[in-house]
Structure 1
Amino acid sequence: MLSQNTLVRHRKAIEKLYDSVCTVITSVEITDENGVTNFQDVMLYENQPCRISQSNVTAANNNYVVSEIDKVIDLYIAPELDIPAGSRIVATFNDIATEYKASGVPARYATYQKIRLEYVGRWA
C-alpha cells in the first residue's frame, strides 16, 4: 500500500497530463403533477480537468484480413467524481468541443478513473 504522500505525488503527476476540460450531463427521470414521466438533462460537473486518449483497434476475420477498424476512446479524470454510465460528456480541447457518451462503469483507481467513451459529435 502506498503512503498518502506518495499517492498525492502520483496524482499531481497524472493531473499534469490533463489537457482538456469536460462537462458531464446526465438525464434524470422527472414525474410531473399529472403522473407523466419525462427525462430532463442535468449538468453534474462543469469544466473538470481531464484527458481524452484515443487508439485504434483492428479486428481480423477468419482469413486474417482486417475487416474492421474501431477507435477506442478513454476519459481520464479525477477519481472522486461520480459519473454514471450513459452520461453525456462534452470535452473541450483547443476550443473544439466534442460530445461523447459514457459507455460503461468507470475503472476507479486511487489517483484517477478511466471511463470508456463512445463518439457522438463535434462542433467548434
Structure 2
Amino acid sequence: MVVLNVSQHRKAIERMYTDRATISRYIEIQKPSGETVLTPDPIPVYTDQPCYLSQTGFAKNDQTEAQNDIQYEAKLFIAPELIIQQGDIVAVTRGSTGRIWVYTAGEPFPPYSTHQEISLQREGYA
C-alpha cells in the first residue's frame, strides 16, 4: 500500500502556482437602525493569494454588430483552507504579465487535503 505524503504533495502542487488572487464578497452589515444590509461594494476577504488559473474550455464568441460578449469558464487551484463562496468576486493577476482578470466563483467543490478547485465564470464585453 502506497501512503501519500500530503505535505510533499501539496508543496509540489503549489510550485505550479504562478498567479495571485484576491477574493472579495459582499458582507452583511448592521445599520444603526438595526437593519441588516449588504455592503455597497465587495470587501476583500483574501488578498494576493498564490494560485493557478486554468482554462476549462474555449471562450464562446457571441459577436453581434452592436457588441462582442465574452463568456467562458475557468478553474482556480488554490490553498484548501481558504473559504471561497459561490458568488465571490475573484480577481486573478496572471503570472508575470501583471494583467488582472475578474471572475465570479461558482459553487466550490469540496476541498482536497492538498488544494481546492474553484469553478470560475467570466462574462463581459470585449
TM class, shorter-length: 0.7 to 0.9
Does the 8 Å contact 1:22/1:91 carry over to 2? Answer: yes
Sequence identity of aligned pairs in percent? 32
TM superposition score normalised by structure 1: 0.77
Point out 4+ residue stretches in structure 1 off by more than 4 angstroms. Answer: none
Instruction: Check if 1:106 corresponds to 2:105.
Output: no
Partner of 1:19: 18
1:3-27: CA deviations, max 9, x gaps?
5xx1111111100111100001011
- Work out the CA distance in 2 between the residues paired with 1:75 and 1:107: 13
**RMSD over aligned Cα, in angstroms?**
2.3
- Of structures 1 and 2, the one scoring higher in RCO (CA 8 A, sep 6+) is 2
Aligned pairs for 1:1-124 within 5 A: 2=3, 6-40=5-39, 41-56=42-57, 71-93=72-94, 94-120=97-123
1:2 Cα deviation from its structure 2 partner? 3.6
- The unaligned stretches of length 5 or more in structure 1 are 58-69
Count matched residues. 109
TM superposition score normalised by structure 2: 0.76
Structure 1 residues 96 and 121 mapped into 2: Cα distance closer, same or farther (>3 Å)?
farther
Q: Which structure has greater strand proportion? A: 1
